[in-house]
Amino acid sequence: MTASKDAPFLVNGVAVTYPVHMSLLHPNFWTYWIHTIAQIIAAIMALYLPRTLLVILIGAVLCWPNESIWRMQPLASDWWLMFIKSVIVNIAPTLPMMLCLIKNPSRRTRQCAAIWTYCILWLNVAWTLCFLPNTGFNPISVVNAVCGVSLCFSLIIHNVALCKRGCTLFEVQGNIIYGYGTSLSWLVCYTVWNALFVLDIAVGVTLQDIAFWAMMIFFYYHSDGRSSVENYFAMARPISLSMYIATSDWPGLFDYFRKADPLGVHTQRHPYFLFLAVLNVIYSFYVIFWEFCLLLGCNGADKYFRSTFNKEDSSDESESNSDRGEL
């Protein structure tokens, strides 16, 4: 605060518009419900109508309309980027995983599908590093980017460790597909990293992280806890994210949703978010340490392999290629 002849006091500050009356009934309030209901429907269909669900998830992006979605103009660069992102998310990891779930093919086919799916997961994490220049290399984005690099390394090490032991990465039992390519510690770190990445865009996007955990737990109880909760990620995440992308695209066709201001959080204004980012990076180093232990077979690695892979994959015995059919 400074004084002058013309103005006794000059105040430097940041003007923030106060929310209008009934601002809690922002259009995003309704999109959150759309996402939630769609996630519940997707989780049930994955168990009982997997074929129909696969058609819906693929059709949601193949029927991409030649109209303005959100604030993107048709055929503009950002419009194409969003379209490509939707195609990659809804098809690249979801299609091979769902086909394995429906067909229950041979172990070799499932192994190839699993490696492909985890490669797409790796690319999705690495893809976020391209946004770093757009953030101006602010402290939180830089720290979170370091965490993203760490996650990429640990994901590779984990899957190499499993392949080195000859472990199957995808296993189908009943109407559940189990994926062993991500550890619980990796998923916790991944969730915090992803939430910090999307907060500046729109705080509601963190719903996608809550959704896949909820779907994992739903599948866990449906299967009577046959496997550890993290092993449901390979089924839950592609389905959950694909449905989230689908239900994010189509509301953007309507002016009621399209003209609403995005509700992002200015993470640079609060040290708590920097604290979370730094703490998560430190935790990511522990994740790498644990994955190296799996690779080298030390510090409880043998116990992990015995407890996780103590059952013979029943699908390997028959090498069945018959369809499961829809219940």
Distance between CA 183 and CA 312 in Å, rounded?
20
8-29: average pLDDT: 61
What would the mean pLDDT of 66-95 be, rounded to a whole number? 75
Among 34, 41, 71, which residue's Cα sits nearest to residue 204? Answer: 34
In 3-state terms, what secondary structure has residue 5? Answer: coil
Q: Is the pLDDT of residue 176 over 70?
A: yes
Least confidently predicted of 100-109, 128-137, 145-154, 285-294: 128-137
- The per-residue pLDDT for 69 is 67
Taking the model in full, what pTM does it have?
Answer: 0.84
CA distance 273 to 266: 10
What is the SS3 assignment for 75?
coil
Query: How far, in Å, CA of 312 to CA of 295, rounded?
Result: 22
169 close to 162: Cβ distance less than 8 angstroms: yes
Maximum Cα–Cα distance across the chain: 91
Alpha helices in 106-232 (DSSP H): 107-127, 139-164, 184-199, 207-222
Residue corresponding to tokens 């992990």: 304
Provide the β-strand partners of residue 172.
177
| Domain residue ranges in the chain | 27-311
Read off the pLDDT of each residue in 149-160 and give the average, rounded to a whole number.
96
